[in-house]
Amino acid sequence: MDPVSTIRVPDDFEHEFPGASRSAAEVAANLVRTATALDAEIARVPRQAADLSTSGFLVLTILDGAAEPMSSHMIAERMLLSSASMTSLLDTLERRNLIQRLPHPTDRRKALIHLTDEAQRLVDEQLPHVHAVITEAVGDLTERERARLLTALTTIRRRLDEQSGQATPTPKGARQRVHRGDSE
C-alpha cells in the first residue's frame, strides 16, 4: 500500500461492528495517521538541530511565548503532563543548560523557569524551520479548505471534550467476527 494513500476499512466493517460507522472509522484512522506524520516531521527539526525531544522543545517554546518566567506547574498544565514527568523533563533541560530554575520571589517552595541565552538562540533558530514545515504540509490546501478543516477539527475536539470523563458509549451490538482470507 502507498504510505500516503487513504486508509480504508473493509466493506463489511459495519456488519462486524454493529452500530459503528465505516466512514467515521476511516476519518479517525486517517486523522491519527496524519497527526502522527505531522508531529514526526515537526519533531525532526529540533531533534536534528539540537538532539532535543519534542517535549523538550515544546517547553522551550512555551517559555519563549510567555511574557515572564513560569512555574513548572504552569508549564505542565499547558503540556498536559504530570508533575513528575515535568520535573524529569526540566532536570534534563537544566543539565543541558537550556533552562534555569530561579527562586520564586514570594514563595520559597517554588521556582520559576527561565530560558538560558543558549535556549533562546535555539528557539529563535528553529521555530522558523518548524513553521516552514507546517506551512509546506498544508501548502496544497486553499485558504477556504484550511478554514473548513479547522472547523471540522474543532467540531471533533469539542465532541471529544464532551465525551471526556463520561461513561464509555455502549456498542449497539457485539462484534460479529468476520473471517477474511490472507490478503498478504
Q: Domain residues of the chain, as ranges?
A: 1-51, 54-131
The pLDDT score that the predictor gives to residue 2 is 63
pTM comes to 0.79
Q: How far is CA 55 from CA 16, 122, 142, 171, in A?
A: 39, 15, 31, 36
Q: Name which residue leads in pLDDT, 169 or 140.
A: 140
State the Cα torsion 28-31-34-35 to the nearest 10°.
Answer: -110
> Helices 22-50 and 117-137: crossing angle, nearest 10°?
140
The pLDDT score that the predictor gives to residue 109 is 86
pLDDT 10s digits, 81-138: 888 889 999 999 999 999 999 998 888 888 999 999 999 999 999 999 999 999 999 9
Distance CA 72, CA 93 (A): 12
The pLDDT score that the predictor gives to residue 57 is 95
Bridge partners of 62?
none
pLDDT band at 48 (very low <50, low <70, confident <90, very high): very high
The pLDDT score that the predictor gives to residue 182 is 58
SS3 167: coil
Query: For residue 181, is pLDDT > 90?
Result: no
The pLDDT score that the predictor gives to residue 150 is 96
What is the percent of the chain with per-residue pLDDT over 70, rounded to a whole number?
96
> Contact, 75 vs 86, CB < 8 A?
yes
> Helices 54-65 and 83-95: crossing angle, nearest 10°?
90
Segment 43-59 shows an average pLDDT of: 92
Query: Would you call 94 exposed, middle or buried from its count of C-beta atoms within 10 A (0-12, 13-18, 19+)?
Result: middle
For all residues of the chain together, what is the average pLDDT?
Answer: 91
Region 54-131: CATH code: 1.10.10.10
